[in-house]
Amino acid sequence: MLRSQDLAAGHHDKVAAVIVVGDDTVSSPVYDLQDADFVDIADEKCARYDFGSPQAVVFDVALSRENIAIIQSLNPVLPKKRVFSVDLKSFRARIQANSLGATALINRPIRMRELNYCIQELIGTTQRKRDRRQVEIDRSIKGAASALTSMFDGISTGAKLDVEGALRACGDIGAAIPEFGQEKWLDNIRKHHVSTFQHCLLVTSVATMFGQSLGMRRADVVALTMAGMLHDIGKATIPVALLDKPGKLTDAELKIIKSHPEVGSRYLSSTVIRPDILHAVRHHHEALDGSGYPDGLSGHQIPDMTRILTVCDIYAALIERRSYKEPLPPAAAIDVLRTLATGGKVEGALVEALASAVFDRTTASA
Ligand SMILES: [Fe+2]
Ligand SMILES: [Fe+2]
């Protein structure tokens, strides 16, 4: 690894793709970055440093008055592509970084996965890398879809659910969503699947994203992902023509449709599956005021995972296209959920948490 001293002494024979200007050469993980040169902003040589022609510079420094002055003085020799690590919650820090010519902002302290992704995006992801990402997304969707297929087939044929395989697929989804972004995953689902499949995959990804943004433990996120994937499995026994019926349903038809949580949970109860997943599958249509089905549970009888799944299920149903309705934009879907919360059907705090998860993601990826 080259340090500023080596560079200043002209010891560099290879131009690095990225220059990192840091103020914590001891503990910052940024010093593990591949294909990069490093310079300490406190080093007096920094001001004389010939930056050569790297493709991007990363500033991993506190934006103190002194550091801002140094960065301003370096301005003429800096590459145009500049990543600043700042406290993204601080409006002031974001403004300061932007005024110093930031082309990308990432959170400080830096997480390497985020930095690597940001740099790849900034200095031009090669087609090969793009292809690899597409393969990974396809793989996670294929895994989820095939787990879903075997579950849907299983309930019709009486075959046992492959819990291990389903958990593996859920773990893959949990890894794919933060890596590629939920939007990218959803775009791909829309291309690949239709009707109930699409709905289950949509609920799965909304639940995964929401669980991660709530800071749930990984095992709980996987369980929530699994609950999302399985929640409507009972619909596999309902004729598609009935599920897609555009007009008003008769009482008898409604009764059949409303049987799906019980049918699904009965099928799953013969497998080794976490009780909270089973509960969420059976009770995802319950309401906090006791007006839901199948058991009319209310308030504290409905645990967190079930409440979270219910909110994700409603949100997903609102933003997706069905044979009988157009999709709602995310903001309008959140408004509908807020109305349901005011009416005592779902938990208001969860709706607000989902709103910030949805809108943070949208802003962050904009
Ligand atoms: Fe359902
Ligand atoms: Fe559903």
For the segment 172-183, what is each residue's pLDDT rounded down to a tens digit? 777 777 766 666
- Percent pLDDT > 70 in the chain is 81
d(CA 80, CA 176): 30
Quick one: 136 and 280 in the same domain? yes
User: Closest ligand to 203 CA?
Assistant: 2
231 and 166 share one domain = yes
Residues 154 and 227 placed together within one structural domain of the fold? yes
Give residues whose Cβ lies within 5 Å of ion ligand 2: 232, 313
Confidence of residue 127 (pLDDT cuts 50, 70, 90): very low
Instruction: Give 308 Cα–ligand 2 centroid separation in angstroms.
Output: 13
Per the CB < 8 A criterion, the answer to whether 177 and 208 are in contact is: yes
* 99 plus 141 within the same structural domain: no
Whether residues 220 and 260 share a domain: the answer is: yes
CA of 41 to the centre of ligand 2 (A): 53
**35 Cα: distance to centroid of ligand 2 (angstroms):** 47
Distance between CA atoms of 23 and 62, rounded to whole angstroms? 7
Q: Are residues 332 and 285 in the same domain?
A: yes
Task: In whole angstroms, give the CA distance from residue 6 to residue 1.
Answer: 10
Q: Domain count of the chain?
A: 2
Strand ranges inside the chain, DSSP E: 18-22, 36-40, 56-60, 82-86, 104-107
Task: Name the residue with higher pLDDT: 97 or 193.
Answer: 97
Domain containing 62 — which CATH number?
3.40.50.2300
Measure 358 CA to ligand 2 centroid, in angstroms: 19
- Distance from residue 284's CA to the centre of ligand 2 (Å): 8
- Please give the model's pTM, rounded to 2 decimal places: 0.60
Ligand 2 center to 313 CA (angstroms): 5
Pair (98, 139) in one structural domain: no
Which structural domain range is residue 66 located in? 4-122
111 lies in the same domain as 206: no
Tell me, what's the pLDDT at 179? 67
Query: pLDDT at residue 289 above 90?
Result: yes
Assign residue 266 the CATH number of its domain.
Answer: 1.10.3210.10
Model confidence pLDDT, tens digit, residues 192-220: 545 666 788 889 889 988 998 999 998 99
Let me know whether 189 and 100 are in one domain.
Answer: no
Of 82, 101, 122, the last residue of a domain is: 122
Ligand nearest to the CA of 281: 1
